[in-house]
Amino acid sequence: MSQDKLLQSRRAALKCMAYGGAGTLFVLAGGVLTPVDLALAGDYGRSDAKAGRLGKPLFVQISDTHIGFSKEANPDVTGTLNRTIDLVNGMAEQPALILHTGDITHLSKPAEFDLAQQLLGRLRTTELHTVPGEHDTTDPTVTEYFSRFGKASGNKGYYSFDHAGVHFIALINVLQFKAGGLGTLGPEQLAWVTADLKGRSSSTPIVVFAHMPLWTVYEPWGWGTGDADQLLSPLRRFGSVTVLNGHIHQIVQKVEGNVTFHTARSTAYPQPMAGEGTGPGPLKVAPELLPTMLGVTSVTARPHPHALMLSDSTLAQKGDA
Amino acid sequence: MNPRRFKIYLGLLGLAMSGFVAAEPESKSLIKDFKFTPLAVKAGTTVTWVNRDDEPHTVVSDTGLFRSGGLDTNESFSYRFDKPGTYQIHCTIHPRMVATVVVSPPS
């Protein structure tokens, strides 16, 4: 990448940070799903050469909206979600789908879910697919999430669907916590994934999404899923696998063979980098620094040769003092 | 009921209640910096956990004996341990948060 392009990318990434959150757009380019900062999304769907080269917007990933949170780290999570939604709605060509990778609410309260649904209802793209985060399942009976979003999965929390030749698998890893452990998929769900993938052509692009990272980002904070390695074996034969998570409120990416793991930013508040401070709570920063900090904590672990646009985040992180 | 009798009744009720409360052992436990404190209490003690973090927590028994809802900052959850034994608890939002409550027979 030339120096000019580096600067351009960095500028765009900084522009994205100014929104203090935003989601991640995915485009299907040459069969490879490429995540792109939303600030660049306005360029998609245009008929110019750049847009044509990059592909058609397929879906947007929104994560960790934490509706109900009102602490110092961001007293207005409704406002930042609204700005994210405006950004998505402002895209020249609307994505076909929206994926929400959990922590829709902060405390699983009915009023929080109601407000979240009302806000998300403003999205021009009406096809919304969700998975719950552990913040969505803290009500004693664990029914608030499922009564609203459980239909797609028959209240199991995991389901699959196809869109534009891509096979999507939604997984739940926030329910069967073993004390002291990481997130858990459980044998029943793992068996279902194997059955779901059986007979599918290896050339089918696969998107797997769940709330907690499906690889171990940082075990002491529970940033991982204990039995995720068993998920990988049925996925390995596929040529393009994209695993999308939230939970850690910052971008971390890992590539393993044909599998790209990617965590999204939150639209609500940043969290510290792994191991910094007492625990994975909201990171308090000066209000004017909030957008910058969101940007700075958005780390790309390793550059992906195909994920050219995502490297913007890496460049911004590296380039910023 | 005439007003005077009612007052006496209230007074007696108050006495009875204060006696009742004093006889009930209580223990308050703070949840702070993503940590529970291990506890040792006598049977019959009501333990109240108070969340002092900016992040919500839950207090859930490993065996499913009790389960708090999500506790926001300064919210609390109480459970009375009637039977002696060793109880493991964890937070479902941060499953690495674990602690033990050891309940000994009443003296």
Which chain B residues are within 8 Å of A72, Cβ to Cβ?
A: 54
Highest mean pLDDT among A47-51, A53-57, A241-245: A241-245
pLDDT digit string (tens) for chain B, length 107 residues: 455 555 555 555 554 454 454 567 999 999 999 999 999 999 999 999 999 998 999 999 999 999 999 999 999 999 999 999 999 999 988 888 999 999 999 87
The C-alpha angle with vertex B26 and arms to B24 and B28, in degrees rounded to 5, equals 170
Q: What is the pLDDT of residues A271-312, one digit of tens each?
A: 998 999 888 889 887 777 665 544 222 212 223 333 323 332
% residues pLDDT > 70 (chain A): 70
Q: How far is B80 from chain A (nearest CA, A)?
A: 17
The C-alpha angle with vertex A250 and arms to A112 and A155, in degrees rounded to 5, equals 45
Output the DSSP codes for chain B.
--HHHHHHHHHHHHHHHHHHHHHS-EEEEEEBTTBPPPEEEETTEEEEEEE-SSS-B--EETTSS-B---B-TT-EEEEEE-S-EEEEEE-SSSTT-EEEEEEEPP-
Among partner residues A72, A139, A178, which is closest to B95 by beta-carbon distance?
A: A178
The C-alpha angle with vertex A50 and arms to A48 and A52, in degrees rounded to 5, equals 70
Which residue would you say has higher pLDDT here, A156 or A30?
A: A156
**Which residues on chain A place their C-beta less than 8 Å from a C-beta of chain B?**
71-73, 106-108, 134-135, 137-140, 174, 177-183, 220-222, 278-282, 284
Range of the structural domain that residue A284 is part of: 3-319
Q: Report the CATH number of the B25-104 domain.
A: 2.60.40.420
For the domain that residue A274 is a member of, what is the CATH number?
3.60.21.10
Q: What is the pLDDT of residues A245-265, one digit of tens each?
A: 999 998 888 888 888 888 888
What per-residue confidence (pLDDT) applies to A42? 47
Q: Which value does ipTM take for this structure? A: 0.73
B23 Cβ contact list (under 8 Å, min separation 6): none
Among partner residues B54, B69, B94, which is closest to A282 by beta-carbon distance?
A: B54
> For residue A70, what is the nearest residue in chain B, using CA coordinates?
B54
For chain A, the domain total comes to 1
Q: Do A180 and B96 touch (CB under 8 A)?
A: yes
pLDDT class for A179, splitting at 50, 70, 90? low
Which residue would you say has higher pLDDT here, A68 or A298?
A: A68
What per-residue confidence (pLDDT) applies to A151? 95
